[in-house]
Structures are given as C-alpha cells and as structure tokens.
Structure 1
Amino acid sequence: MSIPTGFLPVLPLKNAVIYPGVGQALRIGREKSILALNKAHENQSWILAIAQKSPDQGQTLAVEDLCTVGTLCKVESIRGTGEMGFQAILRGHQRMKVTDIVLKDQYFQAIAEPLEDIVDIDESTKAALLESLKTQSRQILRFIPSNTEQLDEMIENVDDLGFLSHLCAAHLDVPMRDKQELLENINLKDRVMALLVHMQNFKENLQVQAEIRSKVSSKLGQTQREHILREQLKTIREELGEDDQGAGNNDKYAQRIEEAGMTDEAKKVALTELARLKSISPQSPEYQIISNYLDLLTALPWSKASHEGEIDLEKARQILDDDHYGLQKIKKRILQYLAVMKLKNNNKGNILLFVGPPGVGKTSLGQSIAKALGRQYVRVSLGGVRDEAEIRGHRRTYVGALPGRIISSMKKAGENNPVFVLDEVDKLGRGFQGDPGAALLEVLDPEQNNHFNDHYLEVGYDLSKVFFIATANSLEGIPGPLMDRLEVIEVSGYTTEEKFHIAKNHLLSKQFAEHGIKPEQLEVTDAALHHVISHYTREAGVRELQRKIAALCRAAAEKVIKSADATVVIDTKDLEEILGPERYTAEVAENAAAAGVVTGLAWTPVGGDILFIESTRMPGTGHLMITGQLGDVMKESAQIALSLLRSRLPVINPLVDFSKQDIHIHVPAGAIPKDGPSAGITLLTSLASLFSQRKVDPKLAMTGEITLRGTVMPVGGIKEKVLAAHRAGIERVLLSKRNEKDLIEVPQEIRQSMKFIFVENVNEVLKAALELDVDLMSSIYIQPTALMQPPQQGGLSNN
C-alpha cells in the first residue's frame, strides 16, 4: 500500500494513542477534528493521528501542544451527526515522525516521514520475547471479567513481535504518557522490555482488585452491589461519551410510559423493559430491540379514543345514501346495528360479514360507516395470508420480529375504537407456519377480544371497542368456527338501472377528477351510459363499468384539449370507435334456439350468471356422455334427469329406443369448472326438448333441482340468478314453488319487468317449457298386469 506524501490532515487525540496495525474507535466532536475527517475523506481516507501532550487542551489547542510522533491511519467508517458527534473507526498503518505541522483552514496539517523499528536482536531472543508477551497477555486476560476469548485467540496467532507489542500496548490500561513513550520507542527490544514491565504492574494491579472484589462482594448486599455497578456503568458511559444520549432516551421513555394511559399489566412490563434498557449500552443490538418494543408499547392507543358523541342515525342514513345507491337491505341492517350501539353505548355484538361479488361496494361500506360514526378507518387485506404470525405477530426471540397486522393497524389508527375492515377473509390460506383463520377467532370473538394476546406485544390488548367488519366473495373458504362469530350480510349485484344511477352520480365525477377533466368539458349521454352497461359489461358489481368510463375519459382527453371552450359529447355512435365491438347483446339469442338447448341460471362467487345446456343424440348403445368440466353433483343431476325422462318417454316420444342411441350433454365454456345442485330441471328440459324436438323459448331461463320422484327442489342464490337473467334479457324465469319467498330480495322494478313461473314437479316443468301435457300418472305407462308379459319383438321396454 503506497504511503501518501505532502500535507496530511491531522487528528488530535485527547485520550488515546493509535498503534500500527491496530483498529481504534473514537468519538469525534471538536471542529478541528471534524474538518480533518472531511479532508481525509477527500484524501483516500488517510489521516495522521497524533496525541496531545496534555488532554486538558480543548478548542485552544495549538501546534506546540501536539506530540511529534504519531500514526498514519486509514478511516474505515464514520457514523453519527454533527449535532450528536461522530464515531469513527481508524486502523493504524505506519508510525510517522512529524517534520512540519501548521494550522491551516481551521485544522492541523502536517508533513511526516515513516519511522521504522530498529531490530538488533537475534531470532532466539525474538522468540523468547514473543513468548513472554503471550504469557503475560494470557495471565492478564484471566483477571478481566469480560469475555476475552477473541482477543486471546488473536494474540496466540500473532508471530510478528513488532505487531504483538503494538497490539498489547493498545489494550493495556496505562497512562497516556506511557503509551506515547511506547509508540515513540523505535528500538524493538527496548520497547518490548518496557512493555513487559508495564504488563507485570498491570497484572499485579488486576490481581489485587480481584482479591478485593472477592472479599468485599460477600459483605455487600444486593442493593449496594446494584448501586456500585450503576455508578461504575455511569462512569464508563461518561468516558465513552454515551451518557447524554442514553439518559435522554430513558427520560423520554419514562415520560411516554406515564402519558400512554396503558393498563397496569402493560405499564409493569414497560417499566421492567425500561430498567433493562438503562443497563445496556446504546451500541448493543439488544438496546435497539428493547427500544423498538417500548416504541410500540407507548405508541399504541391504550385509552385514546375518537370523540364518541351521540350517534346520529339520520346523519348515518344520509351518508350511506350519498355514498351508495341501492343496497337498501344492507343499509337498513347497518342502521339497525348503529341503533343498538346507541342504546347499549358499546360495540359488543355480532361482527358484520359482507359477502358478495367483487365491485359491489363491500369495502367502501366500511368507509361510510367510519364516516358516519366519526371514527378512524383501518383496512387490512387478508388475501393470500398463510402465516399465523401475520395475525398474532412474531415472538421477540426471533431476529426481525414484528407485531401482527392487527396491533400494527391499531398503532396506525391512533385510536382504540376505529372501524376495522378485514378484507377478503375467504382467501386466507393455511401453511406450515400455522392457520391464520384460527388466529382470527380471538380477534373477532366479542367475549375474548378484550384481552387479545399478540406474540410480539406479550401483554393483553383490548379490541372490544373496535367496530370490526369482514368482507368476502363467498362463504366457501371461511372456516366453520370463524363463521360462527360472524353475522352474514349478502351484498348482491346491481340491476341495470342501479348501475346507471351509480355511473351517473358517482363514477363519472370520480373519473373526471382522476383524468383532470372538468364536468363542463365532457358529457356522456344517458343513452351512451345505458349502452355501455348493457353491451360492454355483464358483471354483478361496477368495476368493469368504471374501467369502461375511464376508457371514455382517456379517449376524450385529446378532444377536450383541442376544444377548450366547447363541450365534448360522447354518444352511442361513438362507443364502437372507443371501446371496440360490442361484447354482449341485450338479448339471450337473436335467432330461434335449436331443440335440445336450454338456458339455465347459475351462482358463482362473482355473482349470478346464465349458462346454456345443450344435448344431442346419435346412433349407439345407450351410452350417456357428459362434457363441459362438470362436477359430481351436476353429473348425478344428469343421470337423474335421464331416468326421469325415460320414465315419461312414452308420452314424449314413444318411438325412441334408448338401447340404440347415445346421448351427449354439453355445457359450453368447458375450461370453467361447474358444479352445484341447481341444474336438474335445466338438464331434464334439454333432454325432453331433444327427444320431443320442441324448441325452448330462448328468453325462458330456469333453475332448480329434481329428485327421482319428480319433485322440484328449491335452490339458493335466487337474487343473484334473477339479476343475471335480467342483465341477459331473460323475460321469464322458472323456479321451484318453495323459492317464491326468496323473490322478496329482488328489486321491485325487476320483479315487475319479468314473469316468474313456480313449479312443484317435473310435469309442470315440461308443460311450462315445452307445452307437453304430461299427466302425473303417465310414468306408469303399462298397466301392472302387462308388466308380467314379455315385451313384444322390437318394442320399447319401459322401466
């Protein structure tokens, strides 16, 4: 390594001497020293460390107050600030003799030359001195109470006598004058002999201290011991320059603990941790761990709550109506919940769970509730969470431990009674790290969450004042025990008219603002909005509709800029150029459907939908083929439909011989899995249409399950299915008689615009869909006496 030449920045050392090959940590606060460090940074980190003749000299330090022999050092690292001072680590490289030194630019600069050792001893003497130094070092290290294994191992591995003398001198506790003399002594033998004398004296001093400690410690009580140790620790920190910072932080924590309003249990733990913090050096990694823990404890809102005034139900109703169009049943249930809260004057009760397709406003309902109550709004997305520690936090024994999402969100809220939305609870996973769904049980149980235990916090935290709201797209992914703690409120899709009002009153203004368009600069006609809703979107919510409106705004932005004073109008004729060809038609089928094709209704996690069931026949051996990626339940429904059809076939088509024909049933969109007990009557009608060659009205849709006795069973998801039928242009819907009561959830304008046919058995289904007058007893086509006769040759055997 080349040694720099010319003037070098000088770092005056007040209480230290740096030796070649030895690293030294220094606290630097004087202006001259800081300027010298800055210059060293420009000079490839080289700096000349020279001890002061008198440590009492401060800012008035002059050239003549510095020694003439110092050490050329490399600055390895610097940290700190100008206000708190800097801490630098210097590594000694070469002993230097100063030939010229000046005070220039408010810091010392010097020209120095290397000062090499004079070695006038043979190898045997050198080996003897080396072993003597190692022996003395080992004896001294035994008397030092701290862990010295690393230093002991380092000394044992040194074979260079000159370096070992510097290493021992650097760690030896002797006066500064003696340390400087050892540095200036260039005769290796003389330096080692002087060092051995100092080491012997130091060892004897340590031995006496150890004997005194051993005798006195048995007589001192615990209180006296702690007092002495604290005084010693205080003195050590003062010497290291750490006392001011540590004491200041400790005082701040003590004040924050008193002001936090925490529980007695939490306060006791906080004070215990603060006592531990006072006994640890700020440079210790454990100091930062305890400091982070106290930061969390004192930042949590233990007793701080939002202003809990009188709950104004009229104001809440107005806010809900302003923020959300429709959803009358949900709004009514929320107002009932708020009314109970007002009467009870607390939050204890069922946790609301909003279930519905994406984009129907589940999460934004939580925002409206928070606005109505005047509370903070907090949202945590649980989709894809598979680690229990995400809910309960990590234990502080782990490196990088953090509190769980619940406690972290409470800290962020700053209040102990926010409106807390747990989004997508149905998408919680389960991995080898635990079951986060089970961890939520304590959070959402009103009887347990007043003492929620986070692994990182380690003290109970009261969640009973939090207004929890959960959201989900479906109930299938939610564990049973968790469902038991939730009150399910279904948020179904919107009707076409509701979507129009939402787009007109909410989405347009929102997208105008996001695209920098003023309302007077762009107009989207009502006809264009209706056309977008009916021909470019088919969803339960309004997210796709919002994206289409955003596309309209983007397309109009250039025109708005060109015609700054005129209003740009987007009408129906402009939609194809902006959005492309129409994706959906308003009617289910423009042309008459073929025999064997029937429109069914299905429920999906993203809302209701329509599906087409097709069937055909071909010469074969009586085999039934089912395609379209159907689940076991739908396959069984197809088998039941076929059995029912065969029992009534003599009335439908007496000339068919099943043993000579194969039947193929297909549900299009085969890439999408389909299953569920709601397609029974649709499958039966498709087969009956095929064999009777009667076409089913494409504007007739149906849903319901069947039994082998021919009974039509009720199914779920009626509201979602009817809304999907209305969006698709269906005019008539065929339902089970026992589903008639479910129509009360369907908006009145839809009930009035559609005709509903209620049936109790499959004969009524065939009559309504195909105008087949199948008598209830026609399944017994042959008289009982005829059943014992053998079938005629080539005839049809009835089962």
Structure 2
Amino acid sequence: ELGEDEGTDYEVEEYLQKISKAHMPKEVKEKAEKEINRLLKISSSSPDAGVIRTYVDWLLELPWNKKTKDNTDLGKARAILAEDHYGLEEVKERILEYLAVKHIKKDMKGPILCFVGPPGVGKTSVAKSIARAMDRKYVRISLGGVRDEAEIRGHRRTYIGAIPGRIISSIAKVKVNNPVFLLDEIDKLNSDFKGDPASALLEALDPEQNNTFTDHYIEAPFSLQNVMFITTANTTATIPGPLLDRMEVIEISGYTDVEKRNIAEKYLIKKQLSEHGLKENQVNISTNAINEIIERYTRESGVRNLERNIGKLIRKAAVQIVEKNKKSVSINNLNIKKYLGIPKYDYEVAYEEDQVGVVTGLAWTNVGGETLFVEVNTMKGDGKLQLTGQLGDVMKESAMAALSYIKANAVNFNIDYQIFKETDIHVHVPEGAIPKDGPSAGITMATAIISALTKKPVRKDVAMTGEITITGRVLPIGGLKEKLLAAKRAGIKKVVLCSKNKADVSKIDPKIIRSMEIVYADKIDDVVKEALR
C-alpha cells in the first residue's frame, strides 16, 4: 500500500505540472486540480480513478489557447481557391472578404456559412480548399442520419464509457481552436426520443453564444468563436428555422454545360489520369467527346457522373495501352460509343411545328432544369376538368386557378361561355411515371387551356414559367438559371417570365441567354399574346 501511495503522489504531481502548462482558463484549471486531488483520497485501482484520469486527459488535450496564424496574403488565397475550383465566385469572394477584415480587425469572430446546392457541385471539397487558402487545420463531421443529441454535446460523466461530443473531440484531435470546421449534410439531421441534435447545434452555431459552448462531458465553457463553421445542405426545407436563421446561406446553383466542360478539361481529366497512373500524352479526350458525355451520358447539376464517365474512358484506354501496346489513345465524339455504349439521355427538344393545346413549360429538378410539355384536349361532356400525369396538389390547384380565370374572362379570349358547360377539359403532363409538383406551371397550363378552347396554335419556339392567380396575375418563380439552360438546350427562341424575375435574370451569365429573347409579363393576357399565333 505504501508503494501504491507513492505512485499516486507522483502521478498527481505530474498531472498538476501538466495542468499548470496547459494555459487553461482559471475556472477550468481549478476544476482540473480539484479532480486530480481527489485521486489522493481514493485507491488507484478504483473505477473512479480511471474516470478521473480520462476526464483530466481530455481537459489537457483541448487547445485552450493554441491557434494557427491565418494567411493574410489575399493574392495567395485567391490563387489557391482558383486552383482547386472553377466558378463558385460568391463563396470565394466571401472567404476573401473575411480574410481582409481579419487582417484589419484581429479579434473578429469566425463566420458561420451554409452552402446550399444540388449534389456534386463542390460544397464539401470547397471547404477543404478554404482551409488550405487560409492556412488553417481542417476538420469534417458528417451529420447525415445523426439522431442523438449526445453525438453533438457528449454524454454526462455519470455514464460508463462517456466521451465528449463530436465537436469537442474533433477540436481536441486537430489541437488548435481555430480550424475550418465542416458540418456536412446538415439537412439530413434526425431527431428521436434521445433528443434533437439540431437544437444542440444552436449554441455551437450562434456567434453570440459559442464563446461559452458547454459540452455535457467537459462541463466547462470552451470558446468556439475562432472556429470557422461551414455547413452544407442540398435544401434548406428540412433545416429547422432557428438553426437556419443563425447561418449565412450561400446558394450554389448547378453548373452550365460550358462550366462543366471547363471543369472537365482543367480538373477532372488530370485528376483521373493521375489516379489511374497515366500521363497526359497517353490519353487524349477531345472537347467534342466531353460535350457528348455532358449532353447524352449524364443528367445532373454537379459533375460526379461526368467524373465517373471520364474515369471509365481512361480505364478503357488503359486496357488498350496494356493489351495492344498502344502508345496513346484518342477519344472523340465519333468513337465514344465504343467506350461508353449507347447514350443514356436525349434532351427533350421543342416540337417541330406549332400545336394546338400543347405548350412548352420549364421545370426545376434536383439534377437541373427540364422542359415540360403541357397537353390539353377538349371533348364533349358536361364541364369536367381532368388532370393526369402524377400531378401534386399545388400543381392541380394551379390548373383549377387557371380555369377559374379563363371562365371569368372568357369574353377577353373570344370564348363562348356555353363551351364550358358542354366540354370536358383534360390536362396531361408527360412523362406520366414521374411525380410533378409546384406552382411554376400555372401560366403554362392556362395558355394550353386557352389554346385548346380557341383552337389557336401555340408557337413551338416559345417556353414559359410562372405562377398564376385567379385574378390572372403572373407571379415570380425560382430555379431560373437551370430552367433557362433547359430552354437553351431545347432550341427555344423566346421565354416568357414574370416581370418580378428581372433581378434574377440580371444575375445570370449573359452567355446563357444570348440566343434567347426574354419577355416579361404581369398578366396572363400578356403571356397569351406572346405564345399564340
């Protein structure tokens, strides 16, 4: 027992020396010393002794006063961000603004950013690039499927095997208190009887509160105000309001075909060649081949499938180089089918001639914009409205609102009111197996119904998108960049939009809309004048 006491005394002395060198805040230091002194009162073989040692070890591991020095050379930071990613200008500018202000005001709090966009646009990888540009350590935790509050804030020490939450343990691992901290897939958080992790994040992601973030295990305030938090999400719809309110949301939209081609040529081909151990002179993929992959082998907002297809091409080329002793392989749009097989997609193109009761609409999907054809047929009946094509409630209501307006203003469109009592109207939106919803096809359905009732053909080169009210007003819609890209691909010459969407159009690259005429409308009457022959 005497030897055991001497060992404990030595251990306590060693711990107290480490605590004095750890630069802890005064109250944390006192708490650590109090816990260590408890070791003198209990047997070293007691389970409590192990709990105390583990707890104090965690306190010693935390970087209470250690931080990395930020890079203040904006030119270097700009070059690193440009080297790693094409586009994403708003994200890059926001980081450069932060570095500039940090250079002037040294004690500035870290920003809390939320990158929202479709899969594969570079939200996660740009966070790593930001850490490199700022000369900071990088730490990432995935929140997808997390449903236990203790994952975020830790377990209380009374539980056997208790550990700190993922925020504190990740910071202890990087050993600095100012890393770039990525919280990936924040929109995929779940909650159950174990608590709500989204509520636990409120304190960590609030600049006014996170200087005293308290983990259940540590039970002492730890400052997160130097941490740069970045969160990613595919949609803000599933993020709780109070949590979303604490973050600065930066929308990252899908890439245009031109942007995808640039990304492929500047980054993806080089990356895939390197991963497969080939040199640039061994495989030559032409620009036409890249265009063919983008248009006919992938349908996405990001570039993940594009990268997979480039990887597939390079693997097929590697087989030829090894098996047939070829020095180099050239791939172009003429021989690409040999490597990738029959094209998977064909973009919907505009009709070849004007049609009665068929209007081209524009829709937003998770993988970019699409053209959407609304077809209307009339037949003898008693005034029923039939809606098919797996339409959601909002879309059905849009069709009803359109019909109400047309009935109320039949005279303006030279429609005999008697026709509504003697005619059934059938609205169909192909493709029938794909569910569709949203208000943006309102003016499209209204124009198609008017065309079918007046027997006036709709111009084949006109597309439209906008919400309709029962008073005939046209309301603005979202996802405009993707929708205009879809219109361009389909060979549309004129697009009708709500006049309140002018501000959104001004933000879009002029190259996208150069070949199209954008027409603005306030009432459905203005839309009909542009669309019907």
TM-score by length of 1: 0.63
Give the drift of 1:582.
1.7
Aligned counterpart in structure 1 of residue 532 of structure 2, from 751, 770, 792? 770
Contact 2:183 2:230 in 1 (8 A): yes
Contact 2:392 2:435 in 1 (8 A): yes
Kindly provide the CA deviation profile for residues 292-324 of structure 1, in whole angstroms up to 9, marking residues without a partner as x: 222211111111111235x11111211121111
Give the drift of 1:522.
0.9
Give yes or no for the alignment of 1:292 onto 2:54. yes
Give the drift of 1:490.
0.9
Aligned to 1:416: 177
In 1, Cα distance between the equivalents of 2:392 and 2:226?
A: 45
Kindly provide the CA deviation profile for residues 64-100 of structure 1, in whole angstroms up to 9, marking residues without a partner as x: xxxxxxxxxxxxxxxxxxxxxxxxxxxxxxxxxxxxx
Aligned to 2:301: 540
Contact 2:152 2:197 in 1 (8 A): yes
In 2, Cα distance between the equivalents of 1:249 and 1:687?
A: 85
Give yes or no for the alignment of 1:678 onto 2:446. no
Contact 2:110 2:226 in 1 (8 A): no
In 2, Cα distance between the equivalents of 1:542 and 1:698?
A: 31
In 2, Cα distance between the equivalents of 1:256 and 1:698?
A: 78
C-alpha spacing 1:659/1:492, structure 2 compared with 1 (3 Å): same
Give the drift of 1:255.
3.6
Give the drift of 1:660.
2.7
Contact 1:493 1:723 in 2 (8 A): no
Give the drift of 1:458.
0.8
Aligned to 2:372: 611
Three-state SS of the structure 2 residue aligned to 1:616 is strand
Report sequence identity in percent.
Answer: 52
In 1, Cα distance between the equivalents of 2:462 and 2:14?
A: 74
Give the drift of 1:669.
4.4
Contact 2:301 2:366 in 1 (8 A): no
In 2, Cα distance between the equivalents of 1:558 and 1:590?
A: 43
Give the drift of 1:632.
2.7
In 1, Cα distance between the equivalents of 2:508 and 2:515?
A: 11
Paired residues in the alignment total 532
In 2, Cα distance between the equivalents of 1:358 and 1:762?
A: 35
C-alpha spacing 1:647/1:370, structure 2 compared with 1 (3 Å): same
Contact 2:63 2:177 in 1 (8 A): yes
Aligned to 1:234: 2
C-alpha spacing 1:565/1:581, structure 2 compared with 1 (3 Å): closer
1:122-133 mapped onto 2 (5 Å cutoff): none
Aligned counterpart in structure 1 of residue 112 of structure 2, from 344, 347, 351? 351
Kindly provide the CA deviation profile for residues 446-494 of structure 1, in whole angstroms up to 9, marking residues without a partner as x: 1110010010111110100001111111111111111221111111111
Kindly provide the CA deviation profile for residues 620-640 of structure 1, in whole angstroms up to 9, marking residues without a partner as x: 321112233333322221111
In 1, Cα distance between the equivalents of 2:151 and 2:460?
A: 51
Aligned to 1:630: 391
In 1, Cα distance between the equivalents of 2:357 and 2:530?
A: 15
In 1, Cα distance between the equivalents of 2:244 and 2:205?
A: 10
CA RMSD of aligned residues (A): 2.4
C-alpha spacing 1:447/1:638, structure 2 compared with 1 (3 Å): same
Three-state SS of the structure 2 residue aligned to 1:753 is coil
Contact 1:588 1:699 in 2 (8 A): no
In 2, Cα distance between the equivalents of 1:657 and 1:700?
A: 27
Give the drift of 1:437.
1.1
Aligned to 2:143: 382
Give the drift of 1:524.
0.7
Aligned counterpart in structure 1 of residue 467 of structure 2, from 696, 699, 705? 705
622-631 or 700-709: bigger deviation: 622-631
Aligned to 2:127: 366
In 2, Cα distance between the equivalents of 1:299 and 1:261?
A: 11
In 1, Cα distance between the equivalents of 2:349 and 2:156?
A: 58
In 2, Cα distance between the equivalents of 1:590 and 1:598?
A: 10
C-alpha spacing 1:347/1:676, structure 2 compared with 1 (3 Å): farther
Give yes or no for the alignment of 1:263 onto 2:25. yes
Three-state SS of the structure 2 residue aligned to 1:412 is helix
Give yes or no for the alignment of 1:328 onto 2:328. no
1:437-586 mapped onto 2 (5 Å cutoff): 437-564=198-325, 566-586=327-347
Contact 1:538 1:727 in 2 (8 A): no
TM-score by length of 2: 0.93
AA partner of residue 453 (structure 1): T
C-alpha spacing 1:320/1:302, structure 2 compared with 1 (3 Å): same
Contact 2:156 2:216 in 1 (8 A): yes
Three-state SS of the structure 2 residue aligned to 1:573 is coil
Give the drift of 1:358.
1.0
AA partner of residue 275 (structure 1): N
Aligned to 2:101: 340
Three-state SS of the structure 2 residue aligned to 1:690 is helix
Three-state SS of the structure 1 residue aligned to 2:405 is helix
Three-state SS of the structure 2 residue aligned to 1:482 is helix
In 1, Cα distance between the equivalents of 2:19 and 2:218?
A: 15
Note the residue ranges of structure 2 that are not aligned, 5 or more in a row.
none
In 2, Cα distance between the equivalents of 1:728 and 1:327?
A: 26
AA partner of residue 274 (structure 1): I
587-596 or 565-574: bigger deviation: 587-596
Aligned to 2:73: 312
Aligned to 1:406: 167
AA partner of residue 398 (structure 2): S
C-alpha spacing 1:376/1:697, structure 2 compared with 1 (3 Å): farther
Give the drift of 1:249.
4.8
Return the index of the structure with the highest Cα Rg: 1
C-alpha spacing 1:578/1:652, structure 2 compared with 1 (3 Å): farther
Aligned to 2:449: 687
Note the residue ranges of structure 1 that are not aligned, 5 or more in a row.
1-232, 772-799
In 1, Cα distance between the equivalents of 2:158 and 2:460?
A: 66
C-alpha spacing 1:695/1:503, structure 2 compared with 1 (3 Å): farther
Give yes or no for the alignment of 1:755 onto 2:523. no
